[in-house]
C-alpha cells in the first residue's frame, strides 16, 4: 500500500527539474517589493524562491515591529492577495511566534502560514485552498487506501471549489479519516520534508508544485465533472 508521501514523490518526479517552468502563477510586481528587496532574472519559480529568502533575511534584520508588519503585510496581502485580515490579525501574524500561530489550526491558515514562511522558509510552507485540494485529490487519484481528508478551505477558484465539494463527497462515501485539527499542519510539513529529501530539493518547491497543479489534479481526479 502506498503512503501519501510516496505518492507525492511519484507525482513530483514528473515535474521537478532544474527549470520548474510549471510554476507560472501571477507575476510578481517588482515595483511593490518591500524594503529594497530585489529579485534576480529568471522565471517565476526562481523569483518566488528568492523572494522567500529575501523576506526572511529582512525579517531577521528587522529592528522594529513596524518593519516586521511591513514584511508580513506584503506577503499576505500584496503578494498573496488576501485583503480580508483585520489590523489586529495582521499584527498578530507579525508578532506571534510560528509555534503560537500554528496553534490556530485551520483558522486563518492561508494567512498565518504565509507569515511563518517569512519567519523561516526552510522550515515552514504555505497551506491554502489550492494546496489542500491537491493533497486531498491526489489520494483519490492514486487510489490510496487509508486516505486522510486534510482541511477543505474555501476558494474563489471555480475548479478548486468544485473539487472541494467532490472530495468531501468522496471522503464521506469512502469513510476517510479526518486529519487531526491540532497536528495536520505538522504532518503536512513532514510530508514536504520527506519528498524534498527524496528529490534533492526544498519544501518550497513541493508546496509550489501542489499549489500550481491544483486545477489539473482536480480535473484528473474527477474528469467527468
The pLDDT value recorded for residue 25 is 84
Position 34 pLDDT exceeds 80: yes
- For the stretch 59-92, pLDDT in tens is 999 999 999 999 999 999 999 999 999 999 999 9
Residue 203 pLDDT level (bands cut at 50, 70, 90): very high
The pLDDT value recorded for residue 84 is 95
For residues 124-135, average pLDDT? 98
Distance of alpha carbon 71 from alpha carbon 76, whole angstroms: 9
Any idea which residue has 506584503 for its cell? 74
The pLDDT value recorded for residue 224 is 87
Distance of alpha carbon 132 from alpha carbon 207, whole angstroms: 10
Burial tier of 114 (Cβ tally within 10 Å: 0-12, 13-18, 19+): buried
Grid cell listed for 3: 503512503
Three-state DSSP at 21 gives: coil
Position 57 pLDDT exceeds 90: yes
Which residues, 6+ apart, have CB-to-CB distance to 111 below 8 Å? 76, 80, 82, 85, 89, 93
- For the stretch 80-127, pLDDT in tens is 999 999 999 999 999 999 999 999 999 999 999 999 999 999 999 999
Position 134 pLDDT exceeds 90: yes
Return the DSSP state at 148: E
Amino acid at each position: 500500500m502506498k503512503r501519501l508521501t510516496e505518492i507525492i514523490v511519484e507525482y513530483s518526479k514528473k515535474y521537478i527539474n532544474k527549470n520548474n517552468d510549471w510554476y507560472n502563477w501571477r507575476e510578481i510586481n517588482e515595483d511593490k517589493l518591500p524594503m529594497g528587496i530585489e529579485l534576480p532574472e529568471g522565471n517565476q519559480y526562481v523569483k518566488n524562491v528568492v523572494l522567500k529568502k529575501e523576506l526572511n533575511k529582512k525579517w531577521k534584520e528587522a529592528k522594529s515591529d513596524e518593519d516586521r508588519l511591513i514584511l508580513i503585510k506584503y506577503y499576505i496581502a500584496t503578494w498573496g492577495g488576501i485583503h480580508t485580515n483585520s489590523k489586529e490579525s495582521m499584527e498578530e501574524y507579525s508578532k506571534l511566534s510560528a509555534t503560537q500561530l500554528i496553534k490556530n489550526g485551520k483558522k486563518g491558515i492561508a494567512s498565518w502560514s504565509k507569515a511563518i514562511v517569512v519567519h523561516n522558509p526552510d522550515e515552514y510552507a504555505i497551506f491554502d485552498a489550492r494546496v489542500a485540494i491537491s493533497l486531498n485529490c491526489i489520494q483519490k487519484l492514486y487510489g490510496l487506501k487509508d486516505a486522510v481528508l486534510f482541511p477543505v478551505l474555501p476558494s474563489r477558484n471555480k475548479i478548486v471549489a468544485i473539487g472541494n465539494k467532490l472530495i468531501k463527497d468522496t471522503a464521506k462515501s469512502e469513510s476517510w479519516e479526518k486529519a487531526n485539527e491540532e497536528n495536520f499542519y505538522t504532518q503536512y510539513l513532514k510530508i514536504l520534508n520527506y519528498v524534498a529529501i527524496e528529490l534533492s530539493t526544498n519544501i518550497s518547491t513541493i508546496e509550489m508544485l501542489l499549489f500550481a497543479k491544483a486545477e489539473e489534479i482536480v480535473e484528473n481526479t474527477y474528469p467527468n465533472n
